[in-house]
Amino acid sequence: MQTADIGRDEIVIEPGRTEKNYWADLWRYRELFLILAWRDIAVRYKQTIIGVAWAILRPFLTMVVFTAIFGRIAGLPTDGGAPYPLMVFAAMLPWSLFSTALGDASNSLIGNERLISKVYFPRLIIPIATVITAFVDFLISFVILLALMFFYRFPPGLNILLLPAFILQALLASLGPGLWITALNVKYRDFRYVIPFVVQFGLYVSPVGFSSAVIPGDWRLLYSLNPLVGVIDGFRWCILGAGSPLYWPGFVLSVAVVAFFLWLGVSRFRKMENTFADLI
């Protein structure tokens, strides 16, 4: 007598066994992605006064500060004819997405310690849910970008339709290292101190406050090893149009780096997953 639910084979629990059912399990628990993301967002603004307005204020103020520092004071040149704040903001969007997603994903397993030691579900859901949360923040900032473009009367070209591809690239760029680091973090807690430092460093190394056009030609390919270079250039190309041309070789390298880290992250995570409950 088999009901439809036990149509699949029995589950075997054994040391060192990689779950054949893992990906099927991920699909079965798909609602958990959104529920955990919703939980993090809902909790963030409880008992605050201005609540959701913080989600808008933070990126807005960062943009203002950046424009003041890099644009006016440092006097870095801008791409094409685009106004400087727009150029900065177009890069800040993917940068914030990346750094928030990476930072939150890296700490996600430790932060959900109780869940991991008391309930079963595919652990991959936890870091991915944090990336979804970062994506929601991104959407809010994107609305500000549109407002900014309206303010500067700078209409987007057709390139903007390709933006989702670059958004995906930014998400995957953060997911790869995020998965790896969060898995390592469970075992060796040092890594939680590594991430803020890397993010800080990355902010100045990535073309956020400046355009990657200022990098001398010979170095440009090497520079593109930083996966964010491709992402940010892509964002600028979509939003600002032809004035900010895409350096294609660099972009392809960027995609390759993102894919590599994603593969690395997922495989390392899966390998360590069985020991999380014991180490956390």
| Contacts with another protein, residue ranges (CB under 8 A) | 5-6, 10-16, 29, 31-32, 35, 39, 42-43, 46-47, 114-121, 187-188, 274-275, 277-279
Between 53 and 113, name the residue whose CB sits nearer to another protein.
113
Alpha-carbon distance 222 to 225, whole Å?
A: 6
Place of tokens 């609305």: 143
Tokens of 94: 């993917």
Report the residue number, 228 or 272, with the smaller CB distance to another protein: 272
Nearer to another protein, 21 or 159 (CB): 21
Q: Whole-number minimum distance, CB 87 to another protein, in Å?
A: 39
Angle at 233 between CA 171 and CA 166, to 5 degrees: 30
State the minimum distance, in angstroms, from the CB of residue 112 to another protein.
9
Give 124: exposed, middle or buried? Use CB within 10 Å, 0-12, 13-18, 19+: buried
- Residue 125 or 172: the one with the smaller Cβ distance to another protein is 125
Q: Which of 233/273 has CB closer to another protein?
A: 273
Q: Shortest distance, CB of residue 15 to another protein, whole angstroms?
A: 6
Nearer to another protein, 64 or 271 (CB): 271
- CB 68, min distance to another protein, A: 36
User: In this structure, how many other beta carbons lie within 10 angstroms of the beta carbon of residue 45?
Assistant: 14
**Residue 33: CB minimum distance to another protein, A:** 10
DSSP element (H, E) containing 276: helix 276-279
Comparing CA positions, the residue from 152, 172, 157 lying closest to residue 230 is: 172
Q: How far is the CB of 280 from another protein (least distance, A)?
A: 10
Among residues 51, 77, 63, the alpha carbon closest in space to that of 142 is found at: 63
Closest-CA residue to 8 (of 17, 22, 21, 18): 21
Instruction: In whole angstroms, give the CA distance from residue 51 to residue 90.
Output: 25
